[in-house]
Structure 1
Amino acid sequence: MRAMNSEPLSVLLVEDDEQAAAVLESLFAGAGLPIVWRRKGCVAAALKEAREDAPSVVFLSLQLKEADAARILDQWFSSAPDAPVVCLTTPTTLNALPHAFARGATGYLPAGCRDADLARHVLHGAVIARAARQTELRQSLKTLFSISSHAIFVIDPESGKILAANPYARTLYGYLPEELARMSFDELAVESVEAGPVRPKHGRPKKPFRARHTTKSGLVLDVEVTPIMAELPEGPRTVVLVRDLTEERQREEEIQFLQEFNSLILDSLPFAITVKAENHRVTYQNRVSIATFGFLVGKIFSLGLEASESEADGPGRTTARTADLDWKGAPFSVTLLTIRDVRTGESILIELAQDVSSQRRIQNELIQAQRMEAVGNLAGGIAHDFNNLLSGILGYANLIQAVGEENEQVAQYAQIIEETCIRASELTQQLLQFARRKTGGTEVFDLNTIIRYAAKLLRASGKKEIPLAQKLSAKKILVRGEPAQVQQMVVNLGLNTFESMNEGQITIGTHAAASEAGSELAGKGIPEGPWAVIEIHDTGRVIDQESLAALFDAYSPQKVGGGPVGLGLSVAHAIIRAHQGRVLVESDPKRGNVVRIYLPQILEAIEEDTPEPEDLPRGNETVLVVDDEEVIRNLMLTSLSRFGYRVLVATGAEEGLRLYSLFKNDINLIMLDIGLPGMDGTKVYQLIRAINPQARVIFFTGSDSPKGMKMLAKDERVDWIAKPISLKRLTQKMRQALDADATTKNSKSGAEKK
């Protein structure tokens, strides 16, 4: 804005609101206009001031406390001096403007206006109106030309020819004065919202309108045109103020872009956003809100969460309330934001709603998983304690067999006890595998054995009224993987099948299959190669094709035999994928449902377990037994002493370390419980090795895959035996360890003699 070079404008402000007056004065001060302000709080005092010293412009508030707008206007214009009047309006006094213009007002400005361009524009209009009433109009126009930041043209009202243009107009449009003198104002226009030339009535400004003008260089400008008819010494002329709206249009485009961008962001959010007025009438919805609740714009809508009267009681303040509510049977988490609009003082309500049905299902499944984990831990603990009891029973049964060989009937009874213990041991081992949380290493195993174990668990857990049959391959079917996981997969599938049936039968079978190029299996997506197949067949109700496609998804709405299911089948599917397997499901009204799991088959044979010896090996070495279970200690002391060994027993880690420190030169072998309380067996072993690096240890464990044994697996001086302890197997391992130690000592002795 170019600084004003002429004398400052004298402005009389008729306003009884000091704050409104200060806002107006600061607005023009920020615009850099040289103005001398005089303010009066009532019309009478202002009229007296105006008669004594005529102002350049009068700003007249239409909301004075002394009278209403109509009386204020009548009082002023009935005896006002010849000075242009700009009305200061509020929303409640806008309806008085027609009366104001009819009485002679030159313009109006909204109270609290902060638009400096608009304020300057209104002031310029008032100055022109004043100049048109004075003989010094030409000089006033020159002054206005020099201070204006808008283009000003003086045109002939009859021909429309441009008679003069201020420097800013020449700069904006790029024409020289002589070029403009040959043009009409209409030639600048590309298009206008109003037809015909600019023809305001005498002494009255025509309503501003928007148009598009072109510059000399061809640049198209968005402008606002305000024509005013003025009486100059040369005759009537039309003075046209042109305001460049290019930057304003760019701001509008930026605002529109931001609105579209924000709308895109809001539509991409996964929860419903509904914006409402204070009376809950909807003004905006994002995509999720429309999809969830329907199109509600213009309608009254509420999920039931209300803002309290004390919330958002300050301008711009935001408060929030959150609650869980139901909407048509579905659970929603709802947050209601309340914002106080600084312009209107009304509250804006923003309702954020998210359907939490899936989260509820996940939470319920997590609780169920935690319960199952607790049951698994309990089962593991029970199995561990039960193994200790079985160790005593099995060990003493072995002892009875060893000492009662002459009594055939006693030996037969002992054999029955031993077989019963072995079956009980298999069940506890399955409990331990089922309770294990971390995966172990892979191994080659017979699929038929796993199916037999799984069938025992299913018979114990499934519905008794639903028969469970097995149809296993006559030959071993070998696969590589983790037996416990494969067993869990079969149990999950079996339990889901049981739960979906009220009648019928389930059959679990195994067989081998081969997929070749062009074969039926290859056509079903089974890669070429040999496969071990687990087949679970039930005669429950059939599953439709749509449900079959999503059967193994988490929270699928179907069980194998129809009915709701949680994570069971998805976990089973994850185990199948982890073993590089495939699964096919068929459902037929006549045959029922068939689930076939394909696991890669191992064709090479695995080593058979070494048969236990008929006779219990004997010895005369000294062994140290460290176990916190009394039944185990007593069994070892009784049985091993009978077989010729010298036995030391310790009830815990500290006592075991103390005995070994005292008798380390005499002790040939340590038998150590890996699950000792306070200090586990692996830690005790490390302390023993610190005393004697050549010490040999056999660990007692409650599992066939003992925790902590991986770190000791490569130590040739370590072995282990799972509980319940078979004396036959134990004495065999003892002799292997002791004889290996003796062989090592003899080899060293022979080497020293040489």
Structure 2
Amino acid sequence: MIEPHSGCLFEGLFRLHLAVMLVLDPETLQVLDANDAALAFYGWTPGEIGFRGLGDICQDGPLCTLETLERCREGGGRVARCRHLAAGGEVRDVDIRISRIPSGERCVLFAVVSDVTALVRAENALRDSEERLRSICENTREGLFQVDLERRRYLWVNQAYARILGYESPGELLEAMEDPESQAWYSLEERERVMSVLLERGFLERHELRLRRRDGRAAWLSGSAWVVRGSGGEAARIEGVVEDITPRKRAEDERMLLATAVEQAAEGVAIVTGGSWLVEYANPAFGTVTGFERGEILGRDFFSLFGRGRQPLPSRDIREALLEGREWTGPVRDVKPGGQPLAAEAVFSPIRDATGRVGRAVVLLRDVSPLTRLENRLRRAQKLEAVGTLAGGIAHDFNNILTPILLNAEVGLQLVEQGDILRRPLEEIARAGGRARQLIRQVLVFSRQGDLRAERVDLAEIVREAARLLRERLPGNVALALDVDPESLPVLADPGLLHQVVVNLADNALHAMQEKGGVLGLRIMRRRGGCPEGAAESRQREGEHALLAVSDTGHGMDEALVERIFTPFFTTKRPGEGTGMGLSAVHGIIRSLGGGVRVESRLGEGSLFEVCLPLAGPVAPPGREPGGQRVLVVDAQAFSRRALAMILEGLGYKTTAMRDAAKALRVFARAPGRFRAVLAGEDLHGMSGRTFLKACRQAGRQSGLVLMADRDDEAQGRPAADAVVVKPVGAQALAQALDEALARAARRAGLATSSTE
């Protein structure tokens, strides 16, 4: 008990204070006194005060009591948070502050106890809440961030945000991101646009943007962000949550790329429903191949799109194959709605759903009309080749028969006098024989067995000369439209045969307009990049060409007639008006010159014949002086030998052409100095071109050696040849190869002379 001399004031403060107060023995921690608040808090009566100790009410165990004793000795004290047993047996959280106070000749411990149960519960709840929030932030797959707008730096990011941008941890990102504007944003323009909207509206929802990963690649994010303002209303920081949608964006790009590829594919693609066979999708090319508009295809039964031709699609076989999960492939031959032929290859492939059931089918329709046209042209060329071979053989035999007839007719004319009754029949025989000889010459030209004299001629001049002759005999109802390129267009050809080509094509056009008249067009121009598509038998596809176009506005031709116009002796003229060799001679002459002929014609609209000839190479420079120099040409193909000889003669060389490689090698070895150069094909009769040229080099080192390779692989021919030229051979390329080979041969000969000296 507190002594009475302590004073009434202290007694009143102690007894009536609302705080829980205890007076404790410093040696035993027994309760010496307790105020009213303490009695109420602990549920004691005044008579129990002397029988209670701090160890009885502290629920934290003996260690807590022992620590209080140790700290309170020698004038010390203790401030602690403990759990005390309160009234009703309830354990309460308290803050206890114990001080050592002198009281007369002795010291006591004065303790003030505060009930902090509610505060502890609040702190625990806050701690649990923070732990849950931390767990969510660290384990969520969405990235969370805070950005300080004043310093323009990240304040905080979670693990997911760091991982999205390619960092191992948030700490690594915060340390590395010294300038987020340039380091984090993939595009500064995009940043300015996003920040402008965000600061104006205060928030963004589900916005897609790109940030830069640590490795420099773009990361597509979808997220929401908001502005946190300070006490003065200023924008202090930005907080937000983002989701990595890079895989989704990549998948969308791939789907878009696939959709674009299918939409722009040259092959027709359609998707049909398995049960009803209705068309769900069709790309533009499918409409082009079938001849339908896209709107006419969608929602329609697939097999109803076909069936107008003689070979409709076998719908039953296709259905059975797809239902069994098999692919079906086959041709489609039909007629388009506009009447044009439809030629395609179809591939039907099953599409399975998640359960493995065939629910749809994808149809690939490839237009093979160009291939069909190429096949038709090939068959036509083969047919003409066969006819040419037959006609050439007959012509040679016919020449043998015609020769004695003409000779005997001339002898008879010399023996009979003028006015003799036999003279007129003999003259008719001679004239008929002359016409037969001209016809045989045309047949031999068609079959490429005649002797062709090739020289450098200006095609434009040939056409102008033919036009002057044509004007003199044009009917009154036909006009001539002449369009000739003013520049020279040199070609290697026989001028007489080239003139015959122009006249034959013009005569054909005039015949087509003899009833209604019209316009005869003659046009000549330079063409870069090869002959027009469809030019029959053209071997020179690259380089510059001369193009001769002869057109008319006559009755035109159908496809069946176009297929036959180059066949020898085929004619649409009445008996006595033509031999049927005019266009076939044109075809043979142009083929012999390495060119091609292309025909366009429509019934009632007229026809267009385009003749394409390779331009002659440049004139040999004065320094080379090829005149008198002889080139040995060795090739297995007779036509190739003739064509090469024509080109070389046009360049000013003399030629010796041979087929047999062994025989050619013997000729060369007997007099190697006779040949300034040797030109050999890759596959010769008896040995390879490389072997032949190696043997020629051993026989004579002063000749230039040129290999004509079948493919563009120059390295393979270099050890044997001084120059390599790839077939098909043009005049310019051949001239350059010869110049290179002759230069190498000259250097080789000079080195040999030096070593000898």
Q: Looking at both structures, which has the greater relative contact order when contacts are Cα pairs under 8 Å and sequence separation is at least 6?
A: 1
TM-score when normalising by structure 2: 0.33
TM-score when normalising by structure 1: 0.33
In our comparison, the structure showing a higher alpha carbon Rg is 2
